[in-house]
Chain A
Amino acid sequence: MNPTNLLSQILEWMPFVLQGFALNILMSLLAIAIGTMFGTFLGLGQLSPGWIIGAPSKLATQLFRNAPWLVLLFYCIFLMPYQINVGGISIQLPSWLRATIGFSFPVAANFSEIVRGAVKSVPRGQWEAAEALGYSRRSTLFRIILPQCITRMIPPWMNLYALLLTATPLSMIVGVEEALGRTQAAVQAQSDSRVLIPMYLALLAMFFLYTWPINRLSLLLERRFRTK
């Protein structure tokens, strides 16, 4: 077989792999949404002066931040039910959805640290000035500190999203049919060892083309927000 034949053979499989890649993107978007939501609560919880909210938030953050993603994924895949009943309606939980929930835990913990870091990066003087003006702790946090934190949180949040997207192929290990799983299936179906390197390179290129601009943009934003 000549090289042009090999190329057309690989191109023939690309739509199949790209559909898998769409699932990677879907999983990453859902997981970042869920993770950001819970991460915000965890992060604000970490800032709580009382230990009733503070200690559990810190514990959860450290636990999910330091556990390997794959281990958390195994927890969610093996220990979550296949379907749940809400008010008499049973909802199926396919493995990709359970994997997405598995990814949400480390994302939430990492975002929790981003929130805490951003709030801590605001100079103490601002808290004191707000207190002198008669603001309560709560309104200082929500009206003065957090609005400034949003811009500081965007670059690390984008990095977190890029990290999450590059973690989604792990779900292939627990049987989700995403881009890597489909590449493997495509390679096996072709049973031709010469397609191995180009197929995997194409997959690497897909991830690179999606992730690299995000990281570049994050770097640009970081520089812009830093210069005052």
Chain B
Amino acid sequence: MITDIQTFFRELAASGVNLTIFYDAFDFDRFVTGLGNTLLLILASSFFSIVIGAAGAAVLTLSKGPAAAVVRGYVAVFRNTPLLVQMYFFYFAVGSIMPVGQNEIGLPQPLIGSFAWAVISLSLYSGAFNVETFRAGVGAVHSSYEEAALALGYNRRQAFFSVTVPLALRFSFASLANNLVDLTKATTVAYAVGVAELLYVSNQIWSDSLNTIEMMNVMLLIYLVLTGAVVFIINRVEAAMRLPGFGLGDGQ
């Protein structure tokens, strides 16, 4: 079976479409590593960006003091500056003053590597957008829900976490899906700090095998599948959490 596939792509290469990743074990391994790193970047950054977004939106809703000002400042800065410059700032500038450890053969090795910096800056960047998303979701919940909870004896904090948040989450899905699609696309920027993700390994492969057009098309196709998958997953979660008679789908 596998040899059949390899033979097929070898013959295809002879006819002009050189997809080394499907018959060359070395290129295949590199490609799979890249795809794995891209998936890992997406998963880790999505998780942290959602946590940051939720925490930021909670602070903005519950407090009016300096904490809210800090969150607003964070959102403004990270939304209005380029992700690539942020990543360079973290990797080169902040990275230069970070403690350096040693690896097993005694060479200096930074404690936070390029992958970790990429996750940190992607999470902070996407998190700023998620703060706005969740904040808008909270704003979309009609105040009568909170008043009803208060009338039932909940205090403000309880009403927020037990009533407003679960409803706000359901209003946030469309915008969240958008942000996570943008995050998926933004993982390519990690290429710039040397994370061996999909774009990086594809670049290596086409530099070695001189099949630039083929690899670019494969890469484009994979990113389209990935963004499609993100939208699909969010839609499934949204459908699973749908409340009868509530939300945009049923009521209007």
Contact = CB atoms under 8 A, between A and B. Distances in A.
Contacts of A63: 224
Contacts of A204: 77, 81, 85-86, 89
Interface in B79-96: 79-86, 88-89, 92-94, 96
A202 B220 CA distance: 34
Interface residues of A, number: 36
A211 to B, nearest CB: 4
Nearest to B89: A200
B186 interface: yes
A68 B216 contact: no
B248 interface: no
Contacts of B199: 68, 70-71, 74
A173 B228 contact: no
B97 interface: yes
B185 A201 contact: no
A212 B183 CA distance: 21
Q: Which of B82, B84, B93, B227 has the most CB of A within 10 A?
A: B82
A68 B186 contact: yes
B188 A168 contact: no
A64 B214 CA distance: 18
Given A63-B224, A68-B188, A215 B80 contact: yes
A211 B97 CA distance: 29
A19 interface: no
A184 B162 CA distance: 49
Contacts of A70: 188-189, 191, 199
B144 to A, nearest CB: 22
A193 B96 contact: yes
A14 interface: no
A203 interface: yes
A64 B184 CA distance: 14
Contacts of B189: 70, 170
Contacts of A207: 80-82, 85
A74 B216 contact: yes
B192 interface: yes
A197 B93 contact: yes
Nearest to A73: B188
B33 interface: no
B185 A66 contact: yes
Contact of A200 (B76, B92, B185): B92
A172 B84 contact: yes
Contacts of A68: 184-188, 199, 223
B181 A66 contact: yes
Nearest to A69: B185
Interface in A187-208: 187, 193, 196-197, 199-201, 203-204, 207-208
Contacts of B186: 68
A32 interface: no
A79 B80 contact: no
A166 B80 contact: yes
Q: Which of A69, A74, A75, A201 has the most CB of B within 10 A?
A: A74
B70 interface: no
Interface string B94-109: 1011000000000000
A66 B82 contact: no
Contacts of B212: 78-79
A54 interface: no
B213 interface: yes
Interface in B183-205: 184-189, 191-192, 199, 203
Given A68-B187, A70-B191, A78-B216, 11 more contacts: A66-B185, A66-B223, A66-B227, A162-B80, A166-B80, A169-B84, A172-B84, A193-B96, A196-B93, A196-B96, A211-B81
25 contacts: A67-B223, A69-B185, A71-B188, A71-B199, A71-B220, A74-B203, A74-B216, A78-B212, A168-B82, A169-B82, A169-B84, A169-B85, A170-B82, A180-B84, A196-B93, A197-B89, A197-B97, A200-B89, A201-B89, A203-B85, A204-B86, A207-B85, A208-B76, A208-B80, A211-B81
Closest 4 CB pairs of A and B: A68-B185, A166-B82, A211-B80, A200-B89
Interface of B: 76-77, 79-86, 88-89, 92-94, 96-97, 181, 184-189, 191-192, 199, 203, 212-213, 216, 219-220, 223-224, 227-228
